[in-house]
Homo-oligomer: A and B are copies of this chain.
């Protein structure tokens, strides 16, 4: 009979291989010299196949069969068996041929996407997107129990989330966002928002970023901050969590809010249980909940009035050119709202509209056979309808995001779910902690970090995201919290 300890030894190996792979990826993004890429790709391929072989080994299948019969497992082992079963089934049901085809096709599709975006010509990418979609539909076909193929794909990123629930929530949200966006843009104060563009020395930006990161509770004994072209956070394990950022000389905001964003992800990863590390249950629960943590620190904390009541004077010390600015116009400048074509640069209000449009299109492609040729026009029409703007070309339209080329379909909704979860969770934190705004205004962030740690981080994925949200907030996912939050914040800022 297999013991929990034997089980954990095997799962730790699988998880260690994954962590080694993440280390190689981090190195590739931040440290590796350019010529290293070819051999590194081969090494990652080798490790992936060793990982896969360990995961689908008959021994793991037998262990799962046995442990599923054992009634007396504790919460962590029970959840670990459940989560490993999910991954095991995903790995064994999908034929190796499809896995290889997906890897090869997405690799080529990505190259074609890069070229297509450079040429701003969707037609160059369309046949490759079609191939990717066919393979993803085939992948979805190996799984039962989902409402639709799209839901099976969504499940990879937001386990347990129902496509109808997402659709309903987004449907409700869409007009409210569009309406609020219009109100802000039409407000009298909107025209006088100051530009913060100036010269901001990179070393000071980095030093300030580190100061803020320290303040919110990032543990430097168990993490680091580097630079990379695309900011990211990677949790190699709870004791080694690495984030990156990029700096712009003319604006301190991308690096500062970027650091808060990745810092939010990092607090989650650092807060996972060291004691249970090596068990499949000791991982982040879903992409949506992960994103809730980054958005919570970036927006609900970092772009809030209480935050700047504390940090504004420090910012002026670092950048004396800001010293004459008042807090209110400054807050409007870090919360500038604008209908703009690029998702990653979008503000809190318009961001969701980009996601909703992506979600609707990818769902129609997978579930309803929408042809890829129709995408550029549908995208442009959607932007017109939801945001009132029209992208100038494919590059800043349908081609702006890489996800589909890499086979990441069902991923986009988690970005918006993150915003919704964040608002719902933050509201509860305010009520539990009583004086959260005041704490933040005094530069005290650790009570919030500790509350999140207790409520979320330390639990790993011992329960589902759906269950977790209910457990923490007493109710299921509800977009109203986000809508209320936006109305209150932007109402206050723009006097509407």
Which residues of A does B touch, CB under 8 Å? Answer: 12-13, 16-17, 19-20, 23-24, 27, 31-36, 38-40, 42-43, 46-47, 50, 219-224, 236-237, 239-240, 277
Contact = CB atoms under 8 A, between A and B. Distances in A.
Contacts of A42: 12, 16
**Copies per complex?**
2
Given A23-B24, A46-B16, A47-B20, A33 B221 contact: yes
Contact of A240 (B13, B17, B35, B237): B35
A425 to B, nearest CB: 27
Contact of A239 (B24, B35, B50): B35
Contacts of A50: 50
Contacts of A277: 39
Contacts of A38: 239
Q: For A31, A38, A223, which residue has the most chain B Cβ atoms within 10 angstroms?
A: A31
Given A32-B240, A33-B222, A33-B223, A46 B17 contact: yes
A81 B429 CA distance: 65
Contacts of A35: 219, 221-222, 239-240
A410 to B, nearest CB: 31
A43 B236 CA distance: 11
A40 B239 CA distance: 10
A349 to B, nearest CB: 37
A73 to B, nearest CB: 24
14 contacts: A12-B42, A16-B46, A23-B24, A31-B31, A33-B223, A33-B239, A34-B221, A35-B219, A35-B221, A35-B222, A35-B239, A36-B236, A36-B240, A39-B240
A24 B33 contact: no
Contacts of A236: 36, 39
Contacts of A12: 42
Contact of A36 (B32, B39, B40, B237): B237
A235 to B, nearest CB: 11
B20 A224 contact: no
A43 B24 contact: no
A53 to B, nearest CB: 11
A20 B19 contact: no
Nearest to A239: B35
A468 B47 CA distance: 36
A57 B430 CA distance: 60
Given A33-B220, A33-B223, 17 more contacts: A16-B39, A16-B43, A17-B46, A20-B43, A27-B27, A31-B31, A33-B222, A34-B221, A35-B219, A35-B221, A35-B240, A36-B222, A36-B240, A39-B237, A39-B240, A39-B277, A50-B50
Nearest to A236: B36
A13 B39 CA distance: 11
Nearest to A13: B46
A74 B42 CA distance: 25
A33 B237 CA distance: 11
Contacts of A34: 221-222
A6 to B, nearest CB: 16
A17 B17 CA distance: 12
Contacts of A219: 35
A467 to B, nearest CB: 29
B19 A239 contact: no
Nearest to A37: B239
A-B CB proximity, top 9 nearest: A36-B240, A35-B239, A35-B222, A16-B43, A39-B237, A35-B221, A36-B239, A34-B221, A16-B46
Contacts of A43: 16, 19-20
A36 B16 CA distance: 13
Nearest to A240: B36
Nearest to A45: B16
Contacts of A19: 39, 43
Contacts of A20: 20, 24, 43, 47
